[in-house]
Amino acid sequence: MPTPHEYAASQAMRFREQLKDFIRIPSISTLPEHTADVRRAAEWLADDMRRAGFQTVEILPTNGHPVVYGEWLGAGPDAPTVLVYGHYDVQPAVMSDGWESDPFEPVERDGRLYARGASDDKGQVFAQVKAVESVLAASGNCPVNLKFLIEGEEEVGSPNLAPFVSAHRDRLKADVCVVSDTGMRTPDQPVICYATRGLMYLEFEVTGPKQDLHSGTYGGMVHNPAQALAEIIAQLHHPDGSIAVPGFYDEVVPLRPDEREALGRSAMPDGFWQQSSGVPAFWGEADYALHERVGARPSLEINGMVSGFYGAGSKTVLPAKALAKISCRLVPNQDPHRIFERVRDTLMKLTPPTVRGEARLLAEAFPAVMDIRSPAMEAALTAYEKGWGKRPVFERGGGTLPILADFQRELGGLPILLMGFGLSDDGAHGPNERFSLEMFHKGIDTAIHFLHEAGK
Amino acid sequence: MPTPHEYAASQAMRFREQLKDFIRIPSISTLPEHTADVRRAAEWLADDMRRAGFQTVEILPTNGHPVVYGEWLGAGPDAPTVLVYGHYDVQPAVMSDGWESDPFEPVERDGRLYARGASDDKGQVFAQVKAVESVLAASGNCPVNLKFLIEGEEEVGSPNLAPFVSAHRDRLKADVCVVSDTGMRTPDQPVICYATRGLMYLEFEVTGPKQDLHSGTYGGMVHNPAQALAEIIAQLHHPDGSIAVPGFYDEVVPLRPDEREALGRSAMPDGFWQQSSGVPAFWGEADYALHERVGARPSLEINGMVSGFYGAGSKTVLPAKALAKISCRLVPNQDPHRIFERVRDTLMKLTPPTVRGEARLLAEAFPAVMDIRSPAMEAALTAYEKGWGKRPVFERGGGTLPILADFQRELGGLPILLMGFGLSDDGAHGPNERFSLEMFHKGIDTAIHFLHEAGK
């Protein structure tokens, strides 16, 4: 009888062809004309999960696209339960965006599979499903109970996921959650991201004159709203790069010295960031290394600004208003709504009586941090070590995964593992998205190892 | 034999109907599909000037639309020569902009003539032509020699006027120039604007990352170009509203106390500016009255800004660049190019090493100030007093008329009079542009008076 790994190796070609079939369904969640395709992808995945050996597979409705939910509970009530999260929907893609081949007709080139969704997230979800198939096919059994929650709205911001998790709280109960929708920077060194930043996003509008004015007739007696906005924005940071919003850092949990040291050992060199960003010089809080500024410190960004005339040539308008999109990345234990209130109050306080200001909240998400010393994390480390031949290093991510805080809140603070097999240069959301076939097969192996390690 | 005023009064209805014919020609200089209409308007005007009694009327070519040039030199070499400037081209206009009637089918409503070009500038040009017709028809003679230069490219920035004036410098030689393309704020109180501000217009671009970045991955280690631009712009003014560009005020000629007092007597009340602008409070140099800030002090405006994402909703981009349109209104004796160099140098000095900055010059125009104690000005004051029954007050305008400095430079510093008959609420460039028929007829009378006063 083959081991699960032998089974996976023998089925490698079939797994790839199946993944291509999955990818060929253009399950673009944001485009209404693809609603039937999204449904078709859910059904295709549910069918494959049934064939893989899941005991129950259901397509559960939400207020938007459905969730594919599969269970295998054969390990019994005393065995641990693993909840796996991923998504089967994809971003839009058209040839004119710069694709070299049809985004929905997967092509293998140089060991990579080129297609929309290859990496984000169909390839990763499918690696998890194929790991389960391999384990069940090889032994008829699995050391852990399994619950797969694969949603169809991740690319539109998961608007219905939190209510779904809340409504199915009891059914989703698990001992550990595996999120397979992230990645690592290089294929050689596995990385486990154990923290994500939260988000607070607002827009701030400064208004002055009742309409655009002639800069000749009024220039010098009216506070230009674009200038006023610039003056306000310029006061949001101290010269040292820290954020000049009273109380902003009050709830920030400092990095522990040991954590700091561990992160330092595995950090990418500054040259990596220099090359990938192309900036002439770095900026920010000098007391923190680059990876700490992004992973362990909150930030405040101007995501955009607009005011008056900005086309080619010159137009001597004195604009009636100016708008900025402003967002903060947050770290534990910052509360996005409290941060909104503090930033809003600061903006209003900085707004002089010569103009009017208004701040409007657009989005909020909590930061999340996972315990790196939990048994579940240890199982993941061992699984990666066996799958990759190398022990993973830890990192704190700078991005935001709102679902993590939702899962933690609704499911009793269960440990969450970000077990992603994408690469940072897979081009997710862009043209010519690709997924390394080596990552796909190593991912299956690692997921198999994890199911065994988690059951110990 | 009737006086010129009696002649004009007797012909009032015919003058109006002729003006309507002139207006019906959609001489939109910026739209290539109207090139033939622009030509047609030039020919219509030339024909009317010939009928009015001009000795020579020519349509002179430029690199763009032609100039209509007319001469009457019957007053002889010892009499003064008056050069009249105006334009026969108009701004675009379509019903969907909010017109209540066809913009090129003039309609009289409540004593106003509604149509594109009614005020800016066909109505004003035509008042000057009809004054000449009235004077010549009444007496067969005129106390001054006349040179009319009516261009067809004012609404596209007069790109070919300076070379034209330079090329025809000798022919255009005159003792005084009358520019009839401005206006007054109320019909009751004639105003003579004797100064205009110059202009320096640049765009300033801040770049940082080589492309837009993910604010999660880079937020905190990269100097956000929108933030950097705001920080730079915020340093361009001192808290007291003065401009923080070293050397900016070096060449500014201070207001003389008597001039200041005279301007103060005729200034519009603050409530006028408050109502017309709608700002919650005024801003600017506290040592100067509102009309002085606009008319006698230079200003620096942000005409527009753009960076990153500014649509509906939220996008967590860290923008690669940010652009601002920045312009200065200048007063005598500021040199626009020297001001460009100083502002550019300041911008570059304020640009930190974490980003790159580039300033690009877009437009320059000199300020102009006219002698209010010249005999020509005295003739204008008397003409207005006779035409309006009220002596005009003086004001310094905040806008820019590049042609004034061109005329002064090319034509030996001749005195220039801004003899405009528009009203500031005529809606020039906007929908439902209109020209007060009272202003039209008073304008003809005033222009007749001026020809006699200038000949004394």
- Average pLDDT for residues B265-284, to the nearest whole number? 93
Which chain B residue's Cα is nearest to A306? B306
pLDDT grade for B255, boundaries at 50, 70 and 90? very high
pLDDT for A428 = 85
pLDDT grade for B266, boundaries at 50, 70 and 90? confident
pLDDT for A183 = 84
Which chain B residue's Cα is nearest to A317? B303
| Percent of chain A clearing pLDDT 90 (strictly above) | 85
Q: How close, in Å, is residue A395 to chain B by CA atoms?
A: 12
**pLDDT tens for residues B171-209?**
999 999 999 988 887 888 898 999 999 999 999 999 999
Which chain A residue's Cα is nearest to B226? A302
- What residues of chain B lie within 8 A of the CB of A221, using their CB? 273, 277, 282-284, 290, 293-294
Residue A436 has pLDDT above 90, yes or no: yes
Q: Which residues have C-beta within 8 Å of that of residue B110, sequence separation ≥ 6? A: none
Q: CA triplet B178, B77, B43: central angle to 5 degrees?
A: 50
The CATH code belonging to domain A198-259+297-364 is 3.30.70.360
Residue A429 has pLDDT above 90, yes or no: no
Any chain B CB within 8 A of the CB of A135? no
How far apart CA A90 and CA A92 sit, in angstroms, is 7
Residue A424 has pLDDT above 90, yes or no: no
- What residues of chain B lie within 8 A of the CB of A314, using their CB? 201, 303, 325, 327, 362-363
pLDDT for B182 = 85
Q: Which of A294, A317, A318 sits opposite B218 (nearest CB)?
A: A294
Architecture of the domain made up of B198-265+293-364:
2-Layer Sandwich (3.30)
How far apart CA B304 and CA B233 sit, in angstroms, is 12
| Percent of chain B clearing pLDDT 90 (strictly above) | 85
- Tell me if A214 and B280 make a contact (CB, 8 A cut-off): no
Q: CA triplet A179, A181, A183: central angle to 5 degrees?
A: 110
Residue matched to tokens 């219509």? B44
Burial string for B267-276 (b: 16+ CB within 10 Å, else e) reads bbeeeebeeb
Which chain A residue's Cα is nearest to B234? A231
Q: How close, in Å, is residue A383 to chain B by CA atoms?
A: 27
- Average pLDDT for residues A42-52, to the nearest whole number? 98
| N residues, chain B | 456
Residue B17 has pLDDT above 90, yes or no: yes
Q: Which of A252-266, B122-136, B331-345 has the lowest mean pLDDT?
A: A252-266
pLDDT for B230 = 98
Q: Minimal CA–CA distance to A256: which of A225, A210, A292?
A: A292
Domain locations in chain A? 4-196+367-454, 198-259+297-364
Residue matched to tokens 């240890």? A378
**pLDDT tens for residues B52-77?**
999 999 999 999 999 999 999 999 99
pLDDT for A288 = 97
Any chain B CB within 8 A of the CB of A32? no
pLDDT for A167 = 96
pLDDT grade for B156, boundaries at 50, 70 and 90? confident
How far apart CA B323 and CA B199 sit, in angstroms, is 19
- What residues of chain B lie within 8 A of the CB of A204, using their CB? none
Mutate which: B181, B205, B218, vs A, most A CBs within 10 A: B218
Q: Minimal CA–CA distance to B148: which of B451, B352, B409?
A: B451
Q: Strand A81-87 to strand A176-179: parallel, antiparallel, or no bridges (unpaired)?
A: parallel
Give how far Cα B37 sits from Cα of A374, B22, B26, B344, Å: 81, 11, 6, 42
| Percent of chain B clearing pLDDT 70 (strictly above) | 100
How far apart CA A70 and CA A448 sit, in angstroms, is 17
Q: What pTM was estimated for this model as a whole?
A: 0.88
**pLDDT tens for residues A259-313?**
999 999 989 899 999 998 999 999 999 999 999 999 999 999 999 999 999 998 8
The H-assigned helical ranges of A245-374 are 257-266, 270-277, 290-295, 336-350
Q: How close, in Å, is residue B368 to chain A by CA atoms?
A: 14
Which chain B residue's Cα is nearest to A315? B303
Portion 72-91 of A in contact with B at CB < 8 A: none
pLDDT grade for A413, boundaries at 50, 70 and 90? confident
Mutate which: B215, B224, B321, B327, vs A, most A CBs within 10 A: B215
Q: How close, in Å, is residue A22 to chain B by CA atoms?
A: 28
- What residues of chain A lie within 8 A of the CB of B284, using their CB? 220-223
- What residues of chain A lie within 8 A of the CB of B280, using their CB? 208, 353-356
Q: Which CATH class is domain B4-196+367-454?
A: alpha beta
Portion 289-318 of B in contact with A at CB < 8 A: 290, 293-294, 297-299, 301-310, 313-318
- Average pLDDT for residues B216-240, to the nearest whole number? 97
Burial string for B142-180 (b: 16+ CB within 10 Å, else e) reads bbbbbbbbbbbbbbbebebbbebbeebeeebebbbbbbb
- What residues of chain A lie within 8 A of the CB of B354, using their CB? 279-283
- Average pLDDT for residues A180-197, to the nearest whole number? 89
- Average pLDDT for residues B86-94, to the nearest whole number? 94
- Average pLDDT for residues A32-41, to the nearest whole number? 97
How far apart CA A343 and CA A325 sit, in angstroms, is 12
Which chain A residue's Cα is nearest to B185? A217
Other CB atoms within 10 Å distance of the CB of residue A378: 14
Residue B434 has pLDDT above 90, yes or no: yes
- Average pLDDT for residues B20-27, to the nearest whole number? 98
Residue B430 has pLDDT above 90, yes or no: no
Task: Report the mean per-residue pLDDT for chain A.
Answer: 95
pLDDT for B157 = 84
pLDDT grade for A314, boundaries at 50, 70 and 90? confident
Q: How close, in Å, is residue A296 to chain B by CA atoms?
A: 10
Q: Which of A216, A280, A324 sits opposite B399 (nearest CB)?
A: A216
Task: Report the mean per-residue pLDDT for chain B.
Answer: 95
Question: H or E segment at B318?
Answer: strand B317-318
- Tell me if A315 and B305 make a contact (CB, 8 A cut-off): no
pLDDT for B183 = 84
- Tell me if B221 and A327 make a contact (CB, 8 A cut-off): no
pLDDT for B97 = 85
- What residues of chain B lie within 8 A of the CB of A229, using their CB? 230, 305
3-state secondary structure A112-158: EEECCCCCCCHHHHHHHHHHHHHHHHHHCCCCCEEEEEEECCHHHCC
Q: How close, in Å, is residue A225 to chain B by CA atoms?
A: 8
pLDDT grade for A425, boundaries at 50, 70 and 90? confident
Please give the backbone phi and psi of residue B131, each rounded to the nearest 5 degrees, phi first.
-65, -45
